[in-house]
Structure 1
Amino acid sequence: MTGRPPGATALRGPRRALLTACYGTLLVLITYTLPTTTLAPTAAALHAGGAAQTWILTAALLGLTALLLISGGIADDHGRKRVFVIGAVLLAASAALGALAPDAAVFVLARVIQGGASAAVLAPSLGLVSQAFPAGPARVRALGGWGAAVGLGIAVGPVYAALLAQWAGWRAVYGVLAALALLLAGLGAAYLTESRSERPRRLDPFGALALAAATAALIAGLAEGRSGWLRTAPLLLLALGLLGLVVFALVESRVAEPMLDLALFRDPGFVASGAGALFTGLSIVGLMSCLPTVLERALGQTPLAAGLVLAIWSGLSVVAALQARRLADRLAPTTQLAAALLACAIGEAALYGLAPGTGWLRLVPGLAVAGVGSGVLNAALARLAVSSVPAHRSAMGSGANNTARYLGSALGVAIALALINSGHSAAGPAAAVAAGADRAILVAVLLCLLGAAVALWARAASRRRATRAA
């Protein structure tokens, strides 16, 4: 059941809900990207070695992927606003813990909690938006705004962290994050309207446990693999993660009210939503997350300059996501998804050919095309995440979509880093990184094309299904 806060008008209430949900999404993406430009001072202050630095980069992703789908299911059944506000409060507390962390172990724990809190904010956000705006042009515009918040967070996070760390130290980065998260909790409590499914389901504890264990093991395996893929630890963790996914599927196929209804995979739209998010992480987020490293090691850019160059891509994705509403009447979401992935493939291909001494202007055309494609892609994924599931399971749809995105991102980062570090050149380390980056770019382009092919298959399957129904 839904209602409006006292005194809220039909116009202002939805807008406030949209702005609050977008602010929450923005803050989640900022949280996720913070270590990309603050790793060096953080590691130095906490005396973190190579393994600890890997976990500083990965810990938030572990909490995020483990709890996204679970948070979405709980939000649908027990209150989207409640889960959102609790997540914001937990994000504030964990950010404060990170700011005060005395050593690397406590900081990594704080980052894991930040990831779990981010899941509680992100999963219900699309459900809150779809609840505030009925299906139609207004919802399409609102979902475009949500997609823009994703790109804006990626653009702002690294630059904000680099500037504040430079002026006030890395601890201030997390202290300010705590204050921003408290503001989010206040806005959520004041401006969001509680909503939940009219047919709440019972908790699925065994499914939740299996999924959390599986995703945590996969992320941990990918993190450990950065120090060598043939060691026992990463191989064992990855095997346990895959086994956990099999157990999760078996559990969900046997419970009366599963957290994730496996029958949804018969719907081409749901498949396109999950596959599109997975390939977005694999081919775009993975490569772009590693691009600042390439800019620093191969092209000699400072962390702040590298973050600003990356902002060309993420900033244009914000503009494109806001304008993507103009495509809603012309293109089906699956068609928009395929076209966006193709644009990203073209933009990434234009980055090929890096070499020491290359100026950042050489990257602008590729980053611009990939940025526009990413913005259209984020808007399409938001539409599919909501439209491919029943209305009362919108937060679960968001959780499933984002789980696929961030699992793909973790695997994409692992692949990109492995390829970047595999480069060899007699011209020196910088040339070797550039050669490895070219390999990573080619693989990312191929993954983009594969994702586009899946989206086109889903488009054709949806048309066949509609024809049979008619």
Structure 2
Amino acid sequence: MVKAGRRHWLALAVLVLPVLLISVDMTVLGFALPYLSEDLRPSGSEQLWIVDVYSFVLAGLLVLMGSLGDRIGRRKLLLSGAVAFGAASVLAAFAPNPGLLIAARALLGVGGATLMPSTLSLIRSIFTDDGQRRVAIAVWSSGFSGGMALGPVIGGWLLEHFWWGSVFLINVPVMLVLLVAGPLLLPEARDPNPGRFDPLSALLSLAAVLPVVYGIKRASEHGLDVPAAASALAGLALGVVFVRRQRALTEPMLDLALFRHRAFAASVLTNMLGVFSLVGLLFLVPQYLQLVLGLTPVVAALWMLPTAVAGVLGSLAAARLARRFPVPHLISGGLLLAMAGFGVLVLLGAHDGLAVLVAGMLLVGFGVPLSETLTNDLIITAAPPERAGAASAISETGFELGGALGTAVLGSIATAVYRADMPAEAGSAARETLGGAVATAAQLPPEQARALLDSASEAFVHAIHVGALAGGLLLAYTAAQAFALLRDRDRPAEAAG
């Protein structure tokens, strides 16, 4: 194994840029939505597509793009994606109508799908030393935590000084740096014997993932209705067809033999369930900060920064701790630490819960990234080097599905608890969401408004308690599962390497 030098670490800095940018993009749009809605006046359906089409396309194309990178070259795919991402950002920034903005967001999803698996698989190619690779993945993972926290802060500042399109234009200079530095610092890597490309497999991979993601998203917004269930079931059925075709092909697009490696399969599942809990919680916390405690969006975002710092530290600590402790113990320990954070959130109050919230989120923010960093390392090392792109794509697809499921399931649980706790006389809008209660209270006399807001706040905090309990129990299961399934990887990193 060759030790990485200065050039390799500079290459890592280049690879972190798109990860940081994609995670910023995941959170910054929420701040711009009220401004672009006022300017472009999208319908309710168009507004949902503006928000959702990015994640739909991204999730649907990850497996295809990972396989494509293995075939044509991961650096080539990364740089092509950077061009698409930058062009789509300019198109989105200056979109004159909702339709063009939706198209630009879809193109951003295409670009994002090329960037995500390429970055992680190139890390596998660049860092051949086990210890250095784990540090590189830790830095890569910290880009996610940092970007998701920076998104609201950057978005709030930009919207105070510029128009809504500025939140998209920040992507352009970063993509330009990637396009200049990428050819100089990044090596090309591909599968030397990729086999014949199968267009039907590519179509089935997209057709299987998109309906599932749509069904999950719809269930999170409207409940588990017939369209949501039908869409998810249709996607699962197409997924079965996709799997059968891969088994029948001598040169499949997705090598299902990867899942025969227990470390690979267990790490993908652990990754997905950890993200499920974290993203489900992140769906509830901003509402608590802004609508229960009454903080402005920018101030609320600043209170989320400690969680992001904890995420960066958790990611970086994973590499150092893995030198001394068994990896399965660390993965399970990180998840149990996050579970303890969920337990702290059960103590959250309706009026004085800021300290409790920060304490709980610090534990969650440190524990989940610590676990995710180590499982990502297991995922890309369990796969043969020539299949690193496909393995990375599977990991990222699990990440996307875990996030979508977390929002849908924990969000639905919290919504059901909130509705059950709200009195019937509060009105349909106030019983539907906390935001509806705040809007209703603004039209009432002061005393009635205060009573309604108190009821809504107590109901929402109770919803967080139930959601935190559910998330904590899931993390306890995930920790036990990871420990059991990864027990044969129970050596410290130095011994294993």
CA distances 1:4-29 after superposition (whole Å, capped 9, x unpaired): xxxxx972321121111111211111
Residue 123 (structure 2) pairs with residue 129 (structure 1): yes
Residue 268 (structure 2) pairs with residue 280 (structure 1): no
Contact 1:127 1:394 (C-alpha < 8 Å) held by counterparts: yes
Mapped to 2, the partners of 1:260 and 1:452 lie a distance apart of: 28
Letter in 2 for 1:71: M
Residue 474 (structure 2) pairs with residue 447 (structure 1): yes
Gaps of 5+ in 2: 424-453, 491-497
Residue 174 (structure 2) pairs with residue 180 (structure 1): yes
Match of 2:320 in 1: 326
Mapped to 2, the partners of 1:262 and 1:308 lie a distance apart of: 43
Among residues 191, 212, 217, which one is paired with 2:211 in the alignment? 217
Match of 1:109 in 2: 103
Give SS of 2:254's match. coil
Match of 2:360 in 1: 366
**Bigger mean CA offset, 331-340 vs 74-83:** 331-340
Contact 1:275 1:454 (C-alpha < 8 Å) held by counterparts: no
Return the offset for 1:90.
0.6
Among residues 4, 22, 47, which one is paired with 2:41 in the alignment? 47
Letter in 1 for 2:138: G
Match of 1:467 in 2: none
Cα gap change, 1:319 to 1:460, in 2 (>3 Å) = closer
Gaps of 5+ in 1: 1-8, 464-470
The alignment's TM-score, normalised by the length of structure 1, stands at 0.91
Among residues 422, 431, 434, which one is paired with 1:425 in the alignment? 422
Match of 2:22 in 1: 28
RMSD: 2.1
Q: How does 1:50-69 map onto structure 2 within 5 Å?
A: 50-69=44-63
Return the offset for 1:461.
5.8
Q: How does 1:305-454 map onto structure 2 within 5 Å?
A: 305-422=299-416, 423=418, 424-426=421-423, 427-454=454-481
Mapped to 2, the partners of 1:230 and 1:371 lie a distance apart of: 30
Give SS of 2:282's match. helix
Give SS of 2:170's match. helix
Among residues 125, 139, 143, which one is paired with 2:137 in the alignment? 143
Contact 1:33 1:157 (C-alpha < 8 Å) held by counterparts: yes
Mapped to 2, the partners of 1:461 and 1:338 lie a distance apart of: 14
Letter in 2 for 1:62: F
Return the offset for 1:189.
2.7
Mapped to 2, the partners of 1:53 and 1:40 lie a distance apart of: 10
Mapped to 1, the partners of 2:97 and 2:477 lie a distance apart of: 43
**Bigger mean CA offset, 291-300 vs 63-72:** 291-300
Give SS of 2:324's match. coil
Return the offset for 1:63.
1.5
CA distances 1:189-215 after superposition (whole Å, capped 9, x unpaired): 332111112222322322221121111
Mapped to 1, the partners of 2:370 and 2:267 lie a distance apart of: 14
Q: How does 1:64-79 map onto structure 2 within 5 Å?
A: 64-79=58-73
**Bigger mean CA offset, 399-408 vs 313-322:** 313-322
Return the offset for 1:49.
4.1
Letter in 2 for 1:34: V
Mapped to 2, the partners of 1:371 and 1:118 lie a distance apart of: 24
Cα gap change, 1:345 to 1:36, in 2 (>3 Å) = farther
Residue 166 (structure 2) pairs with residue 169 (structure 1): no
Letter in 2 for 1:425: M
Mapped to 2, the partners of 1:249 and 1:441 lie a distance apart of: 35
Letter in 2 for 1:448: L
Contact 1:420 1:440 (C-alpha < 8 Å) held by counterparts: yes
Mapped to 1, the partners of 2:292 and 2:226 lie a distance apart of: 32
Give SS of 1:34's match. helix
Residue 198 (structure 2) pairs with residue 201 (structure 1): no
Cα gap change, 1:314 to 1:390, in 2 (>3 Å) = same
Letter in 2 for 1:215: V
Return the offset for 1:43.
2.5
Mapped to 2, the partners of 1:235 and 1:272 lie a distance apart of: 27
Among residues 475, 484, 487, which one is paired with 1:460 in the alignment? 487
Mapped to 1, the partners of 2:235 and 2:303 lie a distance apart of: 35
Q: How does 1:95-106 map onto structure 2 within 5 Å?
A: 95-106=89-100
Return the offset for 1:332.
3.9
Among residues 88, 94, 99, which one is paired with 2:88 in the alignment? 94
CA distances 1:399-443 after superposition (whole Å, capped 9, x unpaired): 111100111101111123223322123543233222222222122
Mapped to 2, the partners of 1:201 and 1:304 lie a distance apart of: 51
Letter in 2 for 1:447: L
Cα gap change, 1:188 to 1:58, in 2 (>3 Å) = same
Mapped to 2, the partners of 1:162 and 1:447 lie a distance apart of: 33
Among all aligned residue pairs of Structure 1 and Structure 2, give the percentage whose two residues are the same amino acid: 28
CA distances 1:85-138 after superposition (whole Å, capped 9, x unpaired): 111111111111111122333222222221221111110111111211113222
Give SS of 1:329's match. coil
Match of 2:230 in 1: 236
Match of 2:255 in 1: 261
**Bigger mean CA offset, 342-351 vs 327-336:** 327-336
Return the offset for 1:56.
3.0
Residue 7 (structure 2) pairs with residue 13 (structure 1): yes
Mapped to 2, the partners of 1:301 and 1:116 lie a distance apart of: 35
**Bigger mean CA offset, 315-324 vs 48-57:** 48-57
Return the offset for 1:185.
2.3
Contact 1:88 1:181 (C-alpha < 8 Å) held by counterparts: yes
Give SS of 1:169's match. coil
Greater C-alpha Rg: 2
Give SS of 1:52's match. helix
Letter in 1 for 2:205: L
The alignment's TM-score, normalised by the length of structure 2, stands at 0.87
Match of 2:441 in 1: none
Contact 2:220 2:409 (C-alpha < 8 Å) held by counterparts: no
Contact 2:283 2:411 (C-alpha < 8 Å) held by counterparts: no
Contact 2:81 2:114 (C-alpha < 8 Å) held by counterparts: yes
Mapped to 2, the partners of 1:416 and 1:178 lie a distance apart of: 35
Cα gap change, 1:390 to 1:334, in 2 (>3 Å) = farther
Match of 1:296 in 2: 290
Contact 1:100 1:171 (C-alpha < 8 Å) held by counterparts: yes
**How many residues are aligned here?**
456
Contact 2:56 2:213 (C-alpha < 8 Å) held by counterparts: yes
